[in-house]
Amino acid sequence: MTETAAVYDIEPANTDLAGVPAAAMAGVVESGATELIRRDARIAILTEETRGLLHQAVMTHFEIGKRLLEMRELAEEKRWLASLDELGIQPLWAQRHMQVARKIEAMPKLRDLAEQSFHKALALIQSTDDATLEEITAGDVPLLTLERVDGMSVRELKKEIKRLTDDKDQVVQEETQVLQAEIDNLVKERDGLQAEHQSDAKTAHDTARELRATVQTLANQARALSAQIAHLSEHDAMMVKDALESSVSSGSILLKETWQAWMDRSLELGLED
């Protein structure tokens, strides 16, 4: 029998679940769901623990560098090398950690990056001079801000540093484009605010005109009402008087509140002496 024939000759297993009780099936499903939840919860815990350990590891690099710096200041060359040998540390490895620690002490903003990635901080320190590094940490290099560095891998960062160093003309052009885009956004935002202000000003003027027209209409209606009262009986005139007093009283309160709110706002805006 060939292998192919053997595969086709295998009898399919009996997978008929019709005879399995519903309660048993429900128990199996529930057990499986519980296991998945337990695994997901454990993975989440392990992820957070690993993140914490990675942060500790990064800070350990920094603390090691600080101690090596102090040790180097205190020890003579022979004692220094002997101490490194005792610790199992190569001089180059020690030099890198000391270099990062020294720069971080001098540039506190670099510490945030070092806390996230010691190797990114090391790449920046080793590949740039002090002036350029200060510009980067200050955000004065548009193509290599600390925010952009945070989103790069170590390899991408080294490549970008090399490109910035080797092709200065292209870099200047790209930085100009980035700055121009930022300027355009600021201008657009300013224009939007101006348009919004102009729209608010027009609405306010329109509202003031409408209010003046409404007051004039009320005055005309009051004069017309005075003429009408003269022809009413005493009883009807008294009813109109009561209604008018109520309306005037309510209107006066609202006008006083509106006027007071306007006066308060005028003081805030410096429109009143």
List pLDDT tens digits, range 13-67: 444 445 556 555 556 556 767 888 888 888 888 888 887 777 777 778 888 999 9
**Is residue 156 located within the same domain as residue 109?**
yes
**Is residue 142 located within the same domain as residue 197?**
no
- Planar angle of CA 61, 63, 68, nearest 5 degrees: 95
Given this model, what pLDDT does residue 23 score?
57
Q: Which of 180, 115, 104, 116 is nearest to 142 (CA)?
A: 180
Q: Per-residue pLDDT for 249 more than 90?
A: no
Q: Per-residue pLDDT for 1 more than 70?
A: no
Given this model, what pLDDT does residue 6 score?
42
pLDDT tens column, 23-36: 555 565 567 678 88
Q: Per-residue pLDDT for 7 more than 60?
A: no
Residue 270 or residue 272, greater confidence:
270
Single out the residue in 144, 166, 188 at which a domain terminates: 166
Q: How much is the average pLDDT of 220-239?
A: 72
Q: Which of 88, 33, 48, 44 is nearest to 64 (CA)?
A: 88
**Is residue 217 located within the same domain as residue 242?**
no
**Is residue 180 located within the same domain as residue 115?**
no
**Is residue 182 located within the same domain as residue 217?**
yes
**Is residue 246 located within the same domain as residue 202?**
no
**Is residue 75 located within the same domain as residue 156?**
yes
Given this model, what pLDDT does residue 122 score?
79
Which residues span the domain enclosing 149?
62-166
**Is residue 262 located within the same domain as residue 213?**
no
pTM of the model: 0.41
Q: How much is the average pLDDT of 118-134?
A: 79
Given this model, what pLDDT does residue 168 score?
60
Q: Per-residue pLDDT for 200 more than 90?
A: no
Question: What residue has token string 């609202």?
Answer: 254
pLDDT tens column, 66-113: 999 999 999 999 999 999 999 999 999 999 889 888 888 888 777 777
Number of independent structural domains in the chain: 3
Is the residue at 2 inside a domain?
A: no
pLDDT tens column, 135-169: 777 777 776 777 788 788 888 888 887 777 666 65
Given this model, what pLDDT does residue 137 score?
77
Is the residue at 85 inside a domain?
A: yes
Q: How much is the average pLDDT of 257-273?
A: 71
Is the residue at 137 inside a domain?
A: yes
Is the residue at 73 inside a domain?
A: yes
Is the residue at 41 inside a domain?
A: no
**Is residue 200 located within the same domain as residue 223?**
yes
